Structure 1
């Protein structure tokens, strides 16, 4: 029987213990080739209520960005010295990138960290949007804001593992496509981790 997706389901999923994830989960040989200190980043997994079921808010990153241009991502970014913690950074970045007021977000909890090949330690923050808001894209960072049914990204059957060449080597990664949106990499890996918890 399919697990109903609601706030209670998500809160319960966060109480299930789990190990951190990384871009190297499917590529263990890559970890020795990537060096440099990890930089902390907070990302918000913003969920809004909808008559047909909760929906996830995602962004398409600007093609002008240095890191992951044009990719589908959670709103978020590097933890600044003025941020109290990664949760504070995630809420600040969401307000800057998609115009989501932090006071409109109930922080449900956090998922285990995710290490990226670009040397970021991502802290995924699950947030429930309790107020209506009009998304406003920050043009320097975001080219598009869209939503995806949570039922889609929390169904493990919708995920695939694909690969491509990166620095001359084959790199594998998770994908969870939705319509015209190719959700892959760290975003898909974090969502897969959440999907696995919901199914337990």
Structure 2
């Protein structure tokens, strides 16, 4: 590409970003992507006839003075599944849900008190398969300002992380721990006191990969 063409492209990108801080996210969602899995860094045996349960999570983007931020939760420490872990609002698709998007919005309403109509769907990231047997559809949405309120007994904390931090591939690293008798590796992307890892980190990295120049 010629220098002048590169400069024009950079100017158009900067202008679009100034007009809409989520322009890089919209551009990323328009690019193709591949499904991800908890197993991609490992060699764990997976049953060929496994049945995955559909689920949806909300990758919610909120405007802030320092730029867009992504909404996350810290699960209650007494829960049977994934206690104390950092997660997106969301959960399995129930019989009354039209699809994974509806499930993500319903769960966000229950878990963080997201009002109906407060989310504008921007698109979806590729599905992510978890070692716990879920096929997760990440739903990316712009969120209108609202007073978050954690679901009693399910969510200990609601917080946001700058998109700029999560979009930086250099912030991610691979760690591991023993799981079912062998070392399982996974992505992490820490933020302050929050240890973001596993499926949540991998989904965020999928967005970061597509946002990369």
TM-score when normalising by structure 2: 0.88
Match of 1:42 in 2: 56
Match of 1:109 in 2: 123
Match of 1:91 among 105, 117, 128: 105
Tell me how far 1:33 sits from its aligned partner: 6.3
Structure 2: which 5+ runs fail to align? Answer: 1-9
Match of 1:134 among 147, 168, 171: 147
Match of 2:31 in 1: 16
Q: List per-residue Cα deviations over 1:110-152 (Å, max 9, x = no partner).
A: 000000000011000001012x211100022101001100000
Match of 2:178 in 1: 165
1:153 aligned onto 2:166: yes
Bigger-Rg structure (1/2): 2
Provide the rounded CA distance (Å) in 1 between the counterparts of 2:54 and 2:153: 21
Structure 1: which 5+ runs fail to align? Answer: none
Alpha-carbon RMSD: 1.7
Provide the rounded CA distance (Å) in 2 between the counterparts of 1:35 and 1:120: 14
Tell me how far 1:35 sits from its aligned partner: 7.1
* Structure 1: 4+ residue segments shifted above 2 A: 3-6, 31-36
- Could you say what secondary structure the match of 2:44 adopts? helix
1:60 aligned onto 2:63: no
Identify the range of structure 1 (136-145 vs 173-182) with the bigger mean alpha-carbon deviation.
136-145
Q: Contact 1:34–1:117 (CA<8 Å) still a contact in 2?
A: no
Tell me how far 1:61 sits from its aligned partner: 0.6
CA distance change for structure 1 residues 34 and 138 in 2, over 3 Å: closer, same or farther? farther
1:187 aligned onto 2:200: yes
- Could you say what secondary structure the match of 1:10 adopts? helix
How many pairs were matched up?
Answer: 197
Q: List per-residue Cα deviations over 1:6-25 (Å, max 9, x = no partner).
A: 21111110111111000011
Match of 2:44 in 1: 30
Provide the rounded CA distance (Å) in 2 between the counterparts of 1:31 and 1:134: 43
1:118 aligned onto 2:137: no
